[in-house]
Structure 1
Amino acid sequence: MITIVIPTIGRASLARAIPDGVPVIVVEDTERKGPAAARNRGWRQARTPWVVFLDDDVVPGEGWLEALIRDLADLPEDVGGSQGRIEVPLPSGRRPTDAERNTAGLARAEWITADMAYRRSALEKVGGFDERFPRAYREDADLALRVREAGFRLVRGERVTRHPVRNDGFWASVRFQRGNADDALMRRVHGPGWRSRIGAGGLLPRHAATTVLGLGALALALAGTRRGALAAAAGWAALSARFAWERIVPGPGTPGEVARMTVTSVVIPPAACLHRLRGELEVRR
């Protein structure tokens, strides 16, 4: 009835993600084509009515398989997918870091393939994942929207999967801005209202204003327009400080975290805009 598909890039956490008592297809993304391509390879090998996608850094909860079977049993034919409930264990005794809060957001995200079951017939009808999405970002939302557009409903199950927080380093939040390129593809495929349809927000307009003010301050200074340069620089500093403060206040307030938020809050706006511009150029090709 069920096949598990797990794409992996060789993380040591993979062993904890593999549940017992059910066929599992592990697809190693050796060519770095991305999780969308790896999952397509996996589900096309499956011969069961349901295919369950797990990430290689999750831990299925106790009794997960039994709960999964209950989630999928007797679902109407118009239900094309069932999402598991994601729990993110956060540290006790202190406020979470920016990285921990970002991971905790997965618990509220819709239709993410950290734990997402699809009817094989629904995957066949829409052609599976769109392999133009090269990262573990938006490829699952794109699939969910296309499955719903094909006439299927998506529901939430009761099974629970834990998603531990990884330490991805000082610049992780800057690297994550690469996803803005994928947002350009989402807009091209699903139209300007795609964010509301998956319950996603975004700070790109504010990042664009910050970047324009920063570049404007530099250009005006080079042109010798001191008053204009100072005004633009003040606007840039205000928006940058606001962004950093919004990320610092909910956190633990340690010197390392404050330094990381301060530095990356300056780098993120232009990085986000640059990646979005790159994505817009790519989709127009």
Structure 2
Amino acid sequence: MTGVPPPPDARLPDGYAVRLAPGTRRREDGAVLLGGSPLRLLRLSARARALLAGDRLPVTDAVTAALAARLLDAGVAVPEPAGPAPGPADVTVVVPVRDRAGGVARLLAALRADPDTAGVRVLVVDDGSADPGALAAAAAGAEVLRHERSRGPAAARNTGLRAATTDLVAFLDSDCVPGPGWLAALLPQMADPRLALVAPRVTALPSTAPGWVTPYETAVSALDMGPVPGPVAPLSGLSYVPSAALLARRAALGEGFDAGMRVAEDVDLVWRLAAAGWRVRYEPAARVAHDHPSTTGAWLRRRAVYGTGAAPLAARHGSLVAPVVVSPWTAAALVPAVAGGRPGRVLAAGALAASTVRLARRLAGPGRPAPYGLAAALVVRGGAAGARTLARAVTRHHWPLAAAAALASRRARRRLAVLAAADAVLAWLPHRDRVGLLRFAAARRLEDLAYGAGLWAGALRARDARALLPAAPPDIAPPRRRGTRAGRRPT
């Protein structure tokens, strides 16, 4: 698959602004910012510090535009878009579909009921439906493009992308129902000329035939990225957005999705865009409902299919698809701690202490003492996150290995049971008012078994283990440059 084109050499427009994101911490009288995902430390120059006197930075010239862009890309700020932005007339809606005539009719009715999208051009791409006449009737009022045989959703989206002539293309799957104002909430984000994609929040469409898994899927669907907006990039808290609903800049996509991928093509596109220098954002103020599977069998099959996407992603993006991202220092503390016994605890404490000293020295500003307290807090935070990541991998990505260990060792069985219970309870707490603990725990374990089975099946089929291997996270405080060059000055 060819790469996407590079972004334009264009700055954020005047009137645009950024505000420090919730959770971003200021230290050393505002000279240092700590935040983002993955966690980053930014040391501001005196000029940048003066420009960011408060928590908000308006763009007024090239200097403030460059600083605002740096803060956005580091994930320590969120945008307040302003300036020239496209409107609904600049959007074409592309709907890839196969055999879902009822879903297409429902989707088109929702678009026509929204004043912002009532007049937009809609391209329905029939990906080899068995009854093309029924689909054409359901799509009355829209343009229908047809594949005589099914080529997959990625190829169907690309067909619509090539037929579009507007600057923006909105991709909506046929099992989606956009909420009122969804497009109006996304369009202002496109004032950023380097923004390639922005995605809405994908929530559950109320089911007409709810099943046992419906409360769980409604609470924690794999398509729902949650209530917090943010940048989307590999190895971050928002590493992808689903292609079920996207607003894209047509010029950014090049040839579009990789038509050779029947799953994870959305992840692949986001990562290619990020590698090329484009921005991708998630904006949950816009909402699109999705018809989630309600039967347990269909739900588990879909989760297994999602797991098979890791192997082709690994072939294209290497360690970015790693199921475990943990620093060597954290691993050096966790492994002996899990092994147990006094020697293990001593080794774990030594690794944590060494990591704290190393990080404190990296965080120290010129002429300032090393911040051992901050470093210790960050190491503890990283250790806790690493422990949860490893526990999650044991019960999800690497459960075949954990099961083999449990069969061979009574001690491993006990520890696996504790990990599985703790993982379920911690994940359930934010959703306890929506689904009961026992249902949540049972569904989470079934979901992990299905996803892990798909993950291993895909890796075995591809004869490529990279989708199973761990990786190290980006450094919180990159090494300082010696001297400065044009275009390489400190922030």
Q: Same fold (TM over 0.5)?
A: yes
TM-score, length of structure 1 as denominator length: 0.71
For residues 208-247 of structure 1, what are the structure 2 equivalents within 5 Å? 209-215=398-404, 228=408, 230=410, 234=414
Q: Name 2:250's counterpart in structure 1.
A: 120
Residues 131-170 of structure 1 mapped to structure 2, 5 A cutoff = 131-135=259-263, 138-156=264-282, 160-170=286-296
Does the 8 A contact of 1:52 with 1:115 survive in 2?
Answer: yes
3-state SS of paired residue (1:62) = coil
For residues 75-94 of structure 1, the aligned pairs below 5 Å read 75-88=191-204
Q: Deviations over 1:190-228 (max 9, x none)?
A: 2313568xxxx894444455422434566xxxxxxxxx5
Amino acid at match of 2:194: D
Q: Shift of the alpha carbon at 1:176?
A: 0.6
What's the secondary structure of 2:261's corresponding residue? coil
Could you tell me how far apart the structure 1 residues matched to 2:186 and 2:444 are?
A: 43
Q: How many residues align?
A: 261
Q: Which residue of 2 aligns with 1:36?
A: 154
The superposition leaves residues 237-271 of structure 1 with CA deviations (integer Å, 9 ceiling, x where unpaired) of 5555566666777463398x479638836843762
Offset from partner CA, 1:12-40 (integer Å, 9 cap, x none): 22223232311111112224433212111
1:138-195 Cα offsets, whole Å, 9 max, x none, are: 3112112212322322345686233145233113135412222211222332231356
Change (3 A) 1:79 1:207: closer
Instruction: Identify the residue that residue 459 of structure 2 maps to in structure 1.
Output: 277
Distance 2:448 2:245 in 1: 34
Question: Distance in 1 between the 2:317 and 2:106 partners?
Answer: 35
Larger of the two Rg values belongs to structure: 2
Give yes or no for contact 2:91–2:170 (8 Å, CA) kept in 1.
yes
Aligned to 2:480: none
Q: Distance in 2 between matches of 1:143 and 1:265?
A: 25
Structure 1 residue identity aligned to 2:177: V
- In structure 2, what is the Cα distance between the partners aligned to 1:231 and 1:265? 25
- Structure 1 pair 209/234, CA: closer, same or farther in 2 (3 Å)? farther
User: TM-score, normalised on structure 2?
Assistant: 0.44
C-alpha distance in structure 2 between counterparts of 1:25 and 1:238, whole Å: 51
Answer 1 or 2: which has greater helix percent.
1
Q: 39-48 or 261-270, which moves further after superposition?
A: 261-270
Task: From the superposition, tell whether residues 37 and 283 of structure 1 become closer, same or farther in structure 2 (CA, over 3 Å).
Answer: farther
1:14 to 90, 101, 104: 104
Between the aligned partners of 2:203 and 2:289, the Cα distance in structure 1 is 6
Secondary structure at the residue paired with 1:13?
A: helix
Which is further off, 48-57 or 187-196? Answer: 187-196
CA distance in 1, matches of 2:270, 2:401: 35
Question: Offset at 1:106?
Answer: 1.4
For the residue of structure 2 that corresponds to 1:278, the secondary structure is helix
Change (3 A) 1:243 1:268: farther
For 2:307, the equivalent position in structure 1 comes to 180
- Given that 2:96 and 2:156 are in contact with CA atoms closer than 8 Å, whether structure 1 keeps it comes out as yes
Q: 1:99 to 1:149 in 2, by over 3 A?
A: same
Q: Distance in 2 between matches of 1:216 and 1:253?
A: 30
SS at structure 2 position matched to 1:191: helix
SS at match of 1:134: coil
Contact 1:100-1:165 at 8 Å conserved across structures: no
Distance in 2 between the 1:211 and 1:158 partners? Answer: 35
| 2:166 paired residue number | 48
Corresponding position of 2:319: 192
Q: Structure 1, unaligned stretches of length 5 or more?
A: 219-227
Q: Distance in 1 between matches of 2:184 and 2:427?
A: 39
Q: Report the AA paired with residue 147 of structure 1.
A: L
After TM superposition, the structure 1 stretch with the greater mean CA deviation from structure 2, 49-58 or 99-108, is: 99-108
SS of structure 2 residue aligned to 1:129? coil
